[in-house]
Amino acid sequence: MARKQTVRGRVSKPGPALQHGKYLFIVAFLLLPVGIYGLFVVSPYVQAIFISMTDWTGLTASQKWVGFDNYVKLFADEQFLVALKNNAILLVVVPAVTVLLGLFFASMLNVGRRGKSGVEGVRGSSVYKIVYFFPQVLSVAIVGVLFKYVFAPTEAGGILNGFLRAIGLDSIALPWLGDPNFAFWCVVLVMIWSFVGFYVVLFSAAMQSIPKDIYEAALLDGANRFTTFRHVTLPLVWDTVQVGWVYLAIQAMDAFAFVHIMLGISGGPSRAGDVLGVALYRSAFNDYRFGYASALGVVLLVLTLIVAVLFLRVARRERVELS
């Protein structure tokens, strides 16, 4: 038994017969995975940092070293600041709303019903869990195309405006994706729409592992739903919420497909819905400013790293252990 313990995680010392040929085996098994990863992932990342310090346009073989020029230009570029602001909005709004809705629906599905037999999930909760998860399995591209048409003007078949007109709200049947004030927020809504289901399922799994007698005790003490949620459910799923939050923040930083499809390569009307991913793609493959685009990529990386570290630090709380 004691041996098992030490073996876990660490590697057991193979016998002398196995020592023979061990290194050959290790090299044989690592060669292709590391090779392909190095070629297509590691080397581009390293090159990107180098390219970001050049003025490369892709047309010339030689590239001039310009140091931090691209970064200086970047922060003087108003369009970059628009994209940066939008990414900041995504970073705050999308995780906040998604986690709140996810927790709300998950707590209803799993512990939302108070009846004769104590606290339980609502009827049909397993069906809801299947349905809510639909957007998660669909390609972001499909979701983007679908909602491009949901928000389209009525004469292009837009169903939202069709619905608003049908119930007599003609005045708010706006050209959603064509309006600089709303275009980006439509994208935000669609992102939330497509993310919520996943977090409902994730939080549900965590809530299912809470013993039911804790709820019985809370009920006996006369705790209402909100108190029960605040003091029983939330602390016990906090670990999952925290991890989900970081994951969402990273997911929200990449709004490329949504914006590219729903608003186009320029980021929508007046470029108001621009995000960093789209700005990078545009600078590189439309304007051929590869150095500038790579500098944008480095900024995106730094932001992602900061977000990951920050969220993990801030969100960390005492872990509640169920014995």
Partner 1 sequence: MTTTVERPVDTDPAPRRRTGAGAGTGALNLLNGGFLLFWGLLTVLPLLWAVVSSFKTNTEFLSDPWGLPAVARFENFARAWTVANIGQYFVNSVIVVAISVPLTMLFGAMAAYVLSRYTFPGNRAIYFLFVGGMIFPVFLALVPLFFVVRNLGTIPVIGEFLGLNSLISLALVYVAFSMPFTVFFLTAFFRTQPTSIAEAAIVDGCSHFGLFFRVMLPMAKPGLISIGLFNVLGHWNQYVLPVVLMNEPDKKVLAQGLASLAISQGYRGDWTALFAGLVIALLPVLIVYILFQKQVQAGLTAGVLK
Q: How many CB atoms lie within 10 A of CB 72?
A: 12
Residue 155 contacts partner 1 per CB under 8 A = yes
Coil/strand/helix, residue 115: strand
25 residue type, one letter: F
Structure-token pair, residue 95 = 């995780």
User: In the bound complex, what is the minimum distance in angstroms from residue 230's beta carbon to partner 1?
Assistant: 15
Select the residue interacting with partner 1 from 69, 71, 113, 315 (CB under 8 A): 113
Residue 108 contacts partner 1 per CB under 8 A = yes
Task: Restricting to residues 265-294, name those near partner 1 by CB under 8 A.
Answer: 276-277, 280-281, 284-285, 290, 293-294
Q: For the chain, percent helix, then strand, then coil, each to nearest 5?
A: 70, 0, 25
Task: Restricting to residues 27-56, name those near partner 1 by CB under 8 A.
Answer: 29-30, 32-34, 36-37, 39-45, 47-48, 51
Select the residue interacting with partner 1 from 70, 204, 268, 271 (CB under 8 A): 204
First to last CA, the chain: 23
Q: Which is nearer to partner 1, 154 or 234 (CB)?
A: 154
DSSP letter string, 52-112: TTB---SSSS---B-TTHHHHHHHH-HHHHHHHHHHHHHHHHHHHHHHHHHHHHHHHHHH-
Residue 226 contacts partner 1 per CB under 8 A = no
- Computed on alpha carbons and rounded to an integer, the radius of gyration of the chain in Å comes to 25
Residue 195 contacts partner 1 per CB under 8 A = no
**Residue 87: alpha-carbon gap to chain centroid:** 12
The binding track of 237-266 with respect to partner 1, each residue x by CB under 8 A or -, is ---x--xx--x--x--xx-xx--xx--x--
Kindly state the number of chain residues that form the binding site for partner 1, as judged by CB under 8 A.
128
User: In the bound complex, what is the minimum distance in angstroms from residue 79's beta carbon to partner 1?
Assistant: 16
Residue 220 contacts partner 1 per CB under 8 A = yes
